[in-house]
């Protein structure tokens, strides 16, 4: 094969082939501790400060399963309409890699904790596409290799590598779809919509912070093509660790176009992993794909099997939170949205965020306007997904409350939001640090009003004479004097009152 892959025009791909997809999503659970030891599970700590003999694989160290991680796995399975295993085990997946100190990954193999489910995915035009789920299983994350000295941070061109084992042993759930057929030209869109729906679901379950940019949600996209009308799947490639929703869509589309070009020119597709390059929108060859024999899986002898009681499963099923599709239906009813408005909010990734903002106490109208207007703008300029903005629905609700209490004007509220987005802390901290408290003390305002009237005697006379629209100029100078920190409506009232209106 040539180094620069030729790609086929997308419409031509669809004339000749049917795509088949398989999506593997890894999600890091936000449990307090790791999967098999008591080390803290937190992102961003100093390298190698959250490690112990168990997650470092030191001789004699014995693992113990994190019950909260098992609970999360079952809840995810239930939300995905899966069966929950009556009995299952962990398995060792053996391979050497520097970021894997034990020389094996503790995972599950042929006995996943949950299996055989589905997720209904809403496409951009509002149509629903059902994706069947093969299984979801529990495993642990690896550490991280940091390749130093090169320009790209990749191993090629690096002078040396460092290892950070803080992530080694963090609980992961891998969710694997059955082969997705019948999506046709919409395959790339289905892939993106599926990962979006899964992310929203995991967020609603509150099991992970699902940050694709930080790697707590990662997607491997398998793609193959079969000639139109064929029933046997073609050879797949697996594009690893695609780290944004948009990239999932682009990677699938690119692979479809590349496969088609290779297949029609008489070549064949090699089963391998591939890397997606965000800047070029293309993929490049990774490593040839191992078969499961290569991993010499065997049941983990240091851990007891897991046999979740039916009562526990039933209890978890009864206590699932409102799931995104239920929430959608209710939002539509409660907020009086049209199908189209609902779809726009869903497509903008705003619905969950608005719902959570409402849950945190904001009025639906306020919550909606913050997310679809100012915060959408901010997401745009900062080049991130709405949900990945560094502000939580709770914080937005707090800003709304501060405005409601008359402590912030809308203008200042936007600056407080900027502060939160820039990492300056909670809304109240930003208000305090930037000295934003609205001047709501009437005596102070009164003083500013009197001064403004004294400075513009002719305007004051006009107002006294009944020209109330002249009050605008006075309000303007009071706002200026208080650096925008006064409630303009209240100032206007005081101005009119001072002039006997």
The residues of the shown chain that bind ligand ADP, judged by CB under 6 A, are 20-24, 134, 176-179, 222, 224, 233-234, 236
- What does the buried/exposed string (b/e) look like for 26-44 if buried means 16 or more CB atoms within 10 Å of the residue's CB? bbbbbbebbbbbebebeee
* Residue (of 68, 67, 66, 108) closest to 85 by Cα position: 108
Query: What is the nearest approach in angstroms of Mg ion to the Cβ of residue 309?
Result: 29
Query: What is the nearest approach in angstroms of Zn ion to the Cβ of residue 297?
Result: 23
Query: What is the nearest approach in angstroms of ligand ADP to the Cβ of residue 100?
Result: 16
**3-class SS at 283?**
strand
Measure the CA angle with vertex 238, ends 232 and 240; round to 5°: 160
- Closest to ligand ADP by CB, 136 vs 463, is 136
Q: 237-242 and 272-277 as β-strands: parallel, antiparallel, unpaired? A: parallel
Residue 185 near which of Mg ion, Zn ion, ligand ADP, none (CB within 5-8 Å, type-dependent): none
Q: Which residues pair with 282 in a beta bridge?
A: 277
Work out which of 6, 24, 116, 437 binds Mg ion, going by CB under 5 A: 24
Tokens, residue 87: 């009995």
* Residue (of 416, 402, 421) closest to 362 by Cα position: 402
- Closest to Zn ion by CB, 103 vs 265, is 103
- Closest to ligand ADP by CB, 21 vs 29, is 21
Tokens, residue 109: 């193999």
Range list of H helices, 281-392: 310-318, 324-334, 339-347, 351-359, 364-369, 376-382
**Burial, 249: exposed, middle or buried (Cβ in 10 Å; 0-12, 13-18, 19+)?**
buried
Q: Are 20 and 181 in contact (CB under 8 A)?
A: yes
- Closest to Zn ion by CB, 51 vs 396, is 51
- Spell out the residues 6+ positions from residue 403 whose beta carbon is closer than 8 angstroms to its own: 366, 409, 410, 413
**3-class SS at 218?**
strand
- Closest to ligand ADP by CB, 8 vs 355, is 8
Beta-strand ranges (E) seen in 44-166 are: 83-84, 91-94, 104-107, 114-122, 128-140, 144-148, 160-164
Tokens, residue 310: 């039916």
- Closest to Zn ion by CB, 54 vs 403, is 54
116 is a contact residue toward Mg ion (CB under 5 A) = no
Span near Mg ion by CB under 5 A; candidates 24-32, 135-143, 223-231, 384-392: 24-32
- Closest to Zn ion by CB, 55 vs 260, is 55
Residue 242 near which of Zn ion, Mg ion, ligand ADP, none (CB within 5-8 Å, type-dependent): none
- Closest to Mg ion by CB, 24 vs 185, is 24
- Closest to ligand ADP by CB, 228 vs 497, is 228
Closest CB to ligand ADP belongs to which residue? Answer: 22
Q: Looking only at residues 183 through 202 of this chain, which bind Zn ion when binding is defined by CB under 5 A?
A: none
Query: What is the nearest approach in angstroms of Mg ion to the Cβ of residue 244?
Result: 20
Residue 146 near which of ligand ADP, Zn ion, Mg ion, none (CB within 5-8 Å, type-dependent): none
418 is a contact residue toward Mg ion (CB under 5 A) = no
- Binding mask 32-71 toward Zn ion (x if CB under 5 A, else -) reads -----x-x------------x-xx----------------
H/E element, 237? strand 237-242
Query: What is the nearest approach in angstroms of ligand ADP to the Cβ of residue 134?
Result: 6
Query: What is the nearest approach in angstroms of Zn ion to the Cβ of residue 300?
Result: 16
Query: What is the nearest approach in angstroms of Zn ion to the Cβ of residue 65?
Result: 13
Q: Which residues bind Mg ion (CB under 5 A)?
A: 24
> Which residues make up the interface to Zn ion (CB under 5 A)?
37, 39, 52, 54-55
């Amino acid at each position: 094969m040539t180094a620069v892959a030729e790609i086929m025009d997308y419409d031509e791909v669809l004339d000749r082939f049917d795509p088949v997809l398989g999506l593997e999503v890894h999600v890091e659970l936000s449990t307090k501790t790791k999967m098999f030891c008591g080390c803290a599970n937190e992102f961003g700590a100093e390298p190698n400060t959250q490690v112990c003999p168990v997650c470092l694989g030191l001789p004699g160290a014995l693992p113990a399963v994190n019950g909260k991680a098992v609970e999360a796995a079952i809840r995810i399975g239930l939300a995905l309409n899966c069966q929950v295993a009556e009995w299952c085990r962990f398995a060792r997946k053996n391979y050497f890699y520097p970021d894997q100190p034990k020389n094996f990954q503790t995972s599950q193999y042929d006995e996943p904790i949950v299996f055989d489910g589905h997720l209904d995915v809403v496409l951009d035009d509002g149509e629903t596409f059902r994706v069947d789920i093969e299984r979801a299983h529990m495993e642990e994350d690896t550490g991280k290799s940091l390749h130093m000295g090169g320009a790209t941070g990749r191993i090629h061109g690096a002078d040396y590598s460092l290892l950070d084992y803080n992530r080694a042993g963090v609980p992961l759930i891998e969710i694997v779809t059955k082969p997705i057929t019948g999506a046709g030209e919409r395959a790339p869109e289905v892939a993106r919509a599926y990962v979006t729906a899964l992310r929203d679901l995991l967020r609603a379950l509150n099991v992970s912070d699902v940050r694709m940019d930080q790697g707590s949600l990662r997607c491997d996209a398998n793609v193959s093509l079969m000639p139109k009308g064929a029933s046997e799947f073609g050879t797949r490639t697996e594009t690893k660790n695609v780290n944004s929703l948009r990239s999932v869509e682009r990677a699938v589309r690119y692979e479809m176009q590349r496969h088609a070009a290779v297949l029609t020119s008489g070549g064949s597709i090699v089963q391998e992993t591939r890397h997606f390059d965000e800047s070029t929108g293309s993929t490049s060859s990774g490593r040839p794909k191992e078969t499961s024999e290569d991993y010499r899986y065997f049941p983990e002898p240091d851990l007891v099997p897991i046999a979740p009681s039916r009562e526990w499963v039933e209890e978890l099923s009864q206590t699932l939170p409102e799931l995104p599709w239920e929430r959608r239906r209710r939002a539509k009813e409660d907020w009086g949205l049209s199908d189209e408005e609902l779809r726009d909010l869903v497509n903008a990734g705003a619905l969950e965020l608005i719902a959570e903002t409402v849950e945190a106490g904001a009025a639906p109208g306020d919550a909606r306007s913050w997310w679809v207007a100012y915060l959408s703008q901010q997401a745009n300029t900062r080049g991130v997904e709405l949900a990945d903005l560094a502000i939580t629905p709770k914080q937005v609700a707090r800003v709304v409350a501060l405005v409601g209490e008359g402590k912030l004007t809308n203008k200042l509220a936007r600056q407080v939001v900027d502060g939160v987005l820039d990492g300056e802390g909670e809304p109240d901290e930003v208000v305090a640090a930037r000295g934003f408290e609205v001047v709501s003390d009437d005596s102070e305002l009164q003083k500013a009003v009197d001064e403004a009237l004294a400075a513009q005697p002719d305007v004051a006379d006009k107002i006294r004479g009944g020209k109330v629209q002249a009050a605008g100029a006075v309000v303007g100078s009071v706002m200026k004097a208080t650096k925008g920190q006064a409630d303009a409506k209240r100032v206007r009232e005081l101005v009119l009152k001072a002039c006997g209106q």
